[in-house]
């Protein structure tokens, strides 16, 4: 964020009005502040933005899904406010180049890190709240997240499928849940395939670049199959 033009360009993409000082703070990572004496960083705004985000999303899904249980609403909220979803939003807004980072984070491509992108999105939400109040901040959040609520992949992607398949298997008395994982390829390009076994039966297969990702994908497939066949 080097010029007024760049700042204005970002604000136009965000569709909000944040004063220059607050915007500067929202875009300042602690690694930059630690290297520049007297500079603040965005963690307090991030803390505030997290609460505003949670309230706005909770209110929206409460009214959008009037027949859903508390448990299912919590799962939807977790998917929408996840670091992955927030980082994807930040990338869609080309936020990364505007974040002020320390030299170490720059060297390790901090502008592309999901955690930094997600935290900065929350800081920006906090900045809108500070500058304009709750309703504009809520409107900003909803403009970002309503498309996510209408995307079935996003809504399910954040769910803890490994826990859910465990709970489903226990509720139906299907037996223990186990994973069989096999890795292939060189260390720098490793791929994994996981099979989830429920009561000894292969119920789902998943692939990924990590064991955890492959297991989670397999669990999601198994859950979908078991949920569709209650007698299984």
Higher pLDDT, 92 or 79: 92
**Residue 181 CB partners (closer than 8 Å, separation 6+):** 192, 193, 194, 195, 211, 214, 215
Q: What letter would DSSP give residue 189? A: G
pLDDT, residue 158, reads 58
Annotated binding site for Mg(2+): 46, 119, 122
Confidence of residue 76 (pLDDT cuts 50, 70, 90): confident
Smallest CA-to-CA distance from 80 within 141, 4, 168 is with 141
The answer to whether 222 and 214 have CB atoms below 8 angstroms apart is: no
pTM: 0.69
Strand order in the sheet with 201-208: 177-184, 191-198, 201-208
- Three-state SS for 182? strand
Smallest CA-to-CA distance from 76 within 58, 92, 63 is with 58
Does the pLDDT value for residue 1 go beyond 50? Answer: no
Each residue's pLDDT tens digit, 193-231: 999 999 999 999 999 888 888 898 899 888 888 877 655
Each residue's pLDDT tens digit, 20-55: 999 999 999 999 999 999 899 999 999 999 999 999
Q: Rounded to whole angstroms, how far apart are CA atoms 19 and 94?
A: 20
The answer to whether 45 and 155 have CB atoms below 8 angstroms apart is: no
Mean pLDDT of 104-132: 94
Catalytic sites, residue numbers: 50, 122
pLDDT, residue 175, reads 92
Could you give the maximum distance between any two Cα atoms of the chain, in Å? 65
Domains detected in the chain:
4-157 (1.10.1520.10), 161-228 (3.30.160.20)
């Amino acid at each position: 964020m080097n010029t007024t033009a760049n700042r204005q360009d970002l604000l136009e993409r965000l569709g909000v009005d944040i004063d220059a000082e607050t915007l500067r703070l929202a875009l300042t990572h602690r690694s930059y502040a630690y290297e520049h004496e007297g500079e603040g960083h965005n963690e307090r705004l991030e803390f505030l933005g997290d609460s505003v985000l949670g309230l706005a999303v909770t209110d929206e899904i409460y009214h959008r899904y009037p027949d859903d249980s508390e448990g299912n609403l919590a799962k939807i909220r977790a998917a929408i406010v996840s670091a992955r979803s927030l980082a994807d939003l930040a990338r869609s807004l080309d936020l990364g180049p505007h974040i002020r980072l320390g030299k170490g984070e720059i060297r390790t491509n901090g502008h592309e890190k999901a955690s930094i992108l997600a935290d900065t999105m929350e800081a920006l939400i906090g900045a809108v709240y500070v500058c304009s109040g709750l309703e504009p901040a809520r409107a900003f959040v909803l403009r970002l997240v309503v498309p996510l609520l209408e995307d079935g992949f996003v809504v399910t992607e954040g769910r803890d499928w490994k826990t859910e398949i465990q709970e489903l298997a226990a509720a139906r008395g299907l037996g223990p849940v186990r994973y069989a994982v096999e890795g292939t390829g060189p260390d720098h390009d490793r791929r994994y395939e996981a099979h989830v076994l429920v009561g000894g039966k292969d119920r789902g297969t998943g692939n990924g670049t990590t064991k955890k990702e492959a297991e989670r994908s397999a669990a999601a497939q198994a859950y979908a199959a078991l949920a569709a066949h209650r007698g299984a």
